[in-house]
Structure 1
């Protein structure tokens, strides 16, 4: 009985060894095929990157190159498996992946969403490398667009990693999307000042700046009659519209306009308010038809509100003069 068991085990071991020896040629061929596909995949990736290196689609080429390399390596692995194991059926593996893909999709939903969003951002190019964008309270320069996230460098030198899914599904302001950008600032002058003269001074300052574009031409528009000032809005265009250019232009224009307005004798008043205190001791308190809301009573029948309003206007005019 023991001799039979030993003989059976020996026969099985010999069969396994012979089977392994028989697989060696197929294994070598499979390894060679896999190596060939791996080499082709690397060449394809380098070719795609080189073809798009000098174009605006260089980042897209890098991603497409990696995808092409991965697909070719997977195909080479399946072909090598068929060569090494003739009974291997790739269709069964693909079917298993299809069933498990649903569970994988739910488990890695956010990762897949960011991956697909990254591919769409690279293809549609709502913004590119070196563009300056604003997303919520984050503003900076686009340094890298990866398949999962976009890398932003803020103006104060910090690194921000933004998931591509958020950037693709939400509003993003691209400050460098066009080659021109309009800047504006409101200057408040006194009610007693000459509006036409103030406009002329503002336009002269903007016209004498080489960084301000002549077309579209600068503008000076009255936009508000505020409580203490007449607000004139200066509007001008610059090129290029990068953050450093915006800061430099605003600094020069605001300083020069302020100096010239003051030199011309035009007032730049600060906000003022008049506060009335109601003593709440009069007989008319609570009577909405007779209550004067803090205005003092007059015995001569004069309208207290009109009287005090006229005095306030006179004082305000005298102050501005």
Structure 2
């Protein structure tokens, strides 16, 4: 028992003196890493304003600033590991542990995919800060793009973090590219009514609505969408500017519907009877 205790004490004592011997290098590595962390922050602060002078794309400048920050941080980590002599050890471990390397690579696959997708999105620029977009069931405005995800604020105020890889592989609808948006609604007319006379009246009601565009290539359209047993379903489409779609679109659409119904009623057009009214 005494021999075991003495051997254990010698081993622990050896680790203790090894730690004391390596302590200066550990302290130097920590200082070097903190210095590189400070430099990384300064590079990002220095880089972003200078990039902003040459472009108004805040999405791209912020992304490039983040890349500069992380590159400097990775360099600092490499220097710190080299200071304490772990470069060779890490290399040997990664070279010898094939299974571990495979598991690590599989675990980081999504991170790497999202990182590369973020780079492509930053340079391809299918959207910019403030654009109204829809992707993967998320509808809202772009507020930021990071190395891993794109942040979208939904119209009901939620911040959604969408992975960059998913955006790159899924359809992306950008409603702010040309600042135009088409709205539509349907109105049922009694199938005995003269729909040819109703169409110009509906168009006039739309053109009298504030916010509805009158451009030659974006004029309102009215057509018969379907026929029912006692009704003609009229499909009505019109265009608006989409700068403030969240607030403007519902108000303009509501006013358009009211104007159309009022116009039809004032000109003697009737709505089809419902099933309950027919039975009554």
Normalising to structure 1: TM-score of the pair?
A: 0.64
Q: Secondary structure at the match of 1:200?
A: helix
**How much does 1:238 deviate?**
0.7
List aligned pairs for 1:248-287, cutoff 5 A.
248-272=251-275
Q: Which has the higher strand share?
A: 2
Q: How many residues align?
A: 255
Alpha-carbon distance in 2 for matches of 1:166, 1:202: 42
Q: Which has the higher helix share?
A: 2
In structure 2, the partner of 1:46 is 45
Structure 1 pair 200/74, CA: closer, same or farther in 2 (3 Å)?
Answer: closer
Q: Secondary structure at the match of 1:52?
A: helix
Structure 1 pair 157/69, CA: closer, same or farther in 2 (3 Å)?
Answer: closer
Alpha-carbon distance in 2 for matches of 1:199, 1:153: 39
Deviations 1:79-134 (A, max 9, x none): 5766x57xx69577557557665432212333333333333333322333222233
Structure 1 pair 269/49, CA: closer, same or farther in 2 (3 Å)?
Answer: same
Q: Secondary structure at the match of 1:185?
A: strand
Structure 1 pair 168/186, CA: closer, same or farther in 2 (3 Å)?
Answer: same
Normalising to structure 2: TM-score of the pair?
A: 0.72
In structure 1, the partner of 2:133 is 133
Q: What is the root-mean-square deviation of aligned Cα atoms in Å? A: 3.7
Unaligned runs of 5+ in 2: 1-13
Alpha-carbon distance in 2 for matches of 1:60, 1:96: 37
Q: Secondary structure at the match of 1:156?
A: coil
In structure 2, the partner of 1:159 is 159
Structure 1 pair 27/161, CA: closer, same or farther in 2 (3 Å)?
Answer: closer
Does the CA-based 8 Å contact 2:226-2:233 persist in structure 1? yes
Which structure has more RCO (C-alpha within 8 Å, separation ≥ 6)? 2
Please say which structure displays the higher CA radius of gyration: 1
Q: Secondary structure at the match of 2:40?
A: helix
Unaligned runs of 5+ in 1: 1-12, 274-315, 317-321
In structure 2, the partner of 1:205 is 205
Structure 1 pair 137/112, CA: closer, same or farther in 2 (3 Å)?
Answer: same
Does the CA-based 8 Å contact 1:184-1:234 persist in structure 2? yes
Q: Secondary structure at the match of 2:187?
A: strand
